Structure 1
């Protein structure tokens, strides 16, 4: 009898229990932000600011390194190291995680409208963000590495926000609202075009699908919107891709190895896709969305009319996005598997894409919807819960054992570098290695300083602090 009462109590308070569980899972991940340290490219972009000024560095980078004008701007303006603030990366890591949840909250509120209360929308957004973190194969890049968050994750948020702005534009009642949402969609598209090549491809595919559906349904206003945004993306994306800095980078960056022929590019693409489609997240996500079946039925009345799509079409778009998004990397990179930061964004596309695809495929009448049986949903919910708790468990261990010592050691290194840079500007500095730390592939970066002065992390640190070179002492 007490067990039955406990079950009924848990059922009555399930929303509060879920909220408490998600909040507890997020706490160690957020707490680790306060031990975060700058890494690799965080130093190099801020050095350009020191050499050319905050605004002078924009044309310099466009001409000499990268045509990604939007992310170039964020890398300089939002980088705490541009202002000499090493500890600022702790704040940027915290803000980025909160902003990811905020973007998902906006998406849920716009699409579900009044069918979900605010606290339910907030819980769903926080849960989806936690699920993404759990499934992202390279968590340091997604959570704590400022440069990769700005270059890839902010751009990934635009893949959500631009279609949402278009949806609000279609529902706007007043001329002012239509202009405001139209402007938001335009600005988001222009920003996405200057973010990175993967975002250009994925957003271009979304705009192409919107154009095709509007043409088939003879929705001429909608067609003008999608075509207009597509032309904007094409123009500014071409400007970004053909920028002189991209050609100059090929001469400077040894990691870029353009494919010599169509056959080589096709071979690279096949290998990259073979690795990508066996990622655990890519395999389990289409099944895990069944857990959301009852919720999808509940918010079905709020579904935008244009979002009714066959599941086969949505699946083809999702797979096509992964394939087309991998093409730029097959053309320019010889390495396998796909670079970590791009793989994370593919998982973001796959996660949100399958949720939307499943919802879009439901019949208009909620009475006709067939959801998975309670037993299947309970089983999948248990699997989902275990997956989502995994990063929290890792974070708690890092917080207890590795993070404080990792932060102390890097603060010691920074202090030594400061002293060497201020008193002996042209010096060679040797730093001790980090003590043995367990890298749980969450908080600690994949690379440390090297005994070789020319290693990437070493040269960026040396330049930023004004020393001739820095290397790691070899343990005897």
Structure 2
């Protein structure tokens, strides 16, 4: 198969199809989205009752020091009285993730020195493939893009960290000027926001900065002042998280209450069992071989390839793999350390780090393969890749759930029933309001519902938001469709 055929037809069609296969259903699910009984109403009720800024202080002192994620969840459309605004949130999160990935990949490819037309095409291909791989075995789609309370702590900082990486690379290549100064300030602001979303990304960004600083110190015998500034911002921001009275309250509620050794052992065991599955359950391995060949072709076209690549990707293979494993450990350890339990939303972050870290490690090896002079993928590799993609897609549990919720009509039924419930909650003036249970629980959309116990936290938050004394789920009531 000729290289031109691969670039003109196979790559565009395949990557576009894979991207749309996961992106479009998320946009459809976004239309059916509703606030979750878990936390969404609690944050909104607190903000409406006490005011936006007072709610920040209340949670900073009383439950968690995550200052920026608290800022987000206390400003959701519920706080404005715009219930339908939640239908836009999953779409915006998915679009933000994709745009951040596209921006970072652009800076990476620019460092490879590839020509502008080739760079743009490769950006699109890699972005589409990365998002497809991310959704393919994502542990919990709802916690990544649907549930706002979770997305604010995990998905938002993941996207911000990708964008921060692009800004940081841009800053380091700009000549001294006002624009360069402003870019550095913006990079520092992004670090402050990322750390303020939660402990997972706080430890992740600090670990990454330390790894880069140590490597450049050993290699160049000098300290990178720009990275040192970013690390300082991250440490100060982390101090704001840990010094929060609410953080101590939250830690005391964990089962482990700070078990350092036990948390490390559990984290290492989990990674040892999970990483091989990720390589086998996704087409990462054949796609890696394709990137080595095609990416090496990009590098081979530059006479100054080694010099260009060394500025960003000139990292020894052993060090890149070591740092990748350390970053994966940094995303897993906080959960095991605090609660001896690793949530799906934390694994969502770990999986994203795995994909990006593996791509970086592969890219560091491009100059080595470029010297062999062969960059045309053999036909058997293309066939194997397509077969692996097909099998992985068919076996993908997130994909099956995503399409089943839409095609069976569960997502639409879920939307009708919650819309009817919201109309009843908004219009009824009874002190005690009995509500019908949901008849469907679409996995891609549903997180939690209020309970039959009127004293449950979810019941109290939703009752407070709508101004009722008591709301309760009554199993004897049949769900009714919403009025048009």
TM-score interval w.r.t. the shorter chain?
0.7 to 0.9
Q: What is the alpha-carbon distance in structure 1 between the residues aligned to residue 466 and residue 393 of structure 2? A: 40
Distance in 2, matches of 1:169 and 1:20, equals 31
Change (3 A) 1:250 1:466: farther
Structure 2's unaligned 5+ residue stretches are 300-304, 478-484
Correspondences of 1:244-283 after superposition (within 5 Å):
244-250=245-251, 256-259=254-257, 262=260, 264-266=262-264, 268-269=266-267, 272-273=270-271, 276-277=274-275, 280=278
Structure 1 residues 132-160: Cα deviation after superposition (integer angstroms, max 9, x where no partner): 11121111111211121121111112332
Question: RMSD over aligned Cα, in angstroms?
Answer: 3.0
- Taking a change above 3 Å as real, the CA distance of residues 117 and 317 of structure 1, as seen in their structure-2 partners, is closer
Task: State how far apart, in whole Å, the 2-side matches of 1:298 and 1:206 are.
Answer: 29
Matches within 5 A, 1:218-237: 218=220, 220=222, 223-237=224-238
Pairing of 1:74-473 with structure 2 (within 5 A) = 74-77=72-75, 79-113=76-110, 114-115=114-115, 116-218=118-220, 220=222, 223-250=224-251, 256-259=254-257, 262=260, 264-266=262-264, 268-269=266-267, 272-273=270-271, 276-277=274-275, 280=278, 284=282, 287=285, 288-300=287-299, 301=305, 303=309, 305-335=311-341, 338-363=342-367, 366-368=370-372, 374-388=379-393, 390=396, 391=398, 394-400=401-407, 401-420=409-428, 423-424=429-430, 427-436=431-440, 439=442, 441=443, 443-473=444-474
> Whole-Å Cα distance in 2 between the matches of residues 12 and 68 of structure 1?
47
Q: Comparing 452-461 with 400-409, which one deviates more in the overlay? A: 452-461
Residues 332 and 347, structure 2, Cα contact 8 Å, conserved in 1: no
Alpha-carbon spacing, 1:24–1:453, altered in 2? closer, same or farther (3 Å): same
Does the C-alpha gap of structure 1 residues 88 and 209 become closer, same or farther in structure 2, counting only changes over 3 Å? same
TM-score, with length taken from structure 1:
0.86
Quick one: distance in 2 between partners of 1:469 and 1:276? Answer: 44
1:360-409 CA-partner distances (Å, limit 9, x unpaired): 13336723377775423431333234435755554343223211111001
Structure 1 gap segments, 5+ residues each: none
Contact 2:102 2:124 in 1 (8 A): yes
Change (3 A) 1:265 1:395: closer
TM-score normalised to structure 2 length: 0.85
Q: Tell me, in whole angstroms, the C-alpha distance in 2 between the residues paired with 1:304 and 1:368.
A: 19
- CA distances 1:114-138 after superposition (whole Å, capped 9, x unpaired): 5434354234313311221112111
Contact kept, 8 Å, 2:293 with 2:374, in 1: the verdict is no
Matching residue of 1:47: 45
Q: Distance in 1 between matches of 2:449 and 2:374?
A: 52
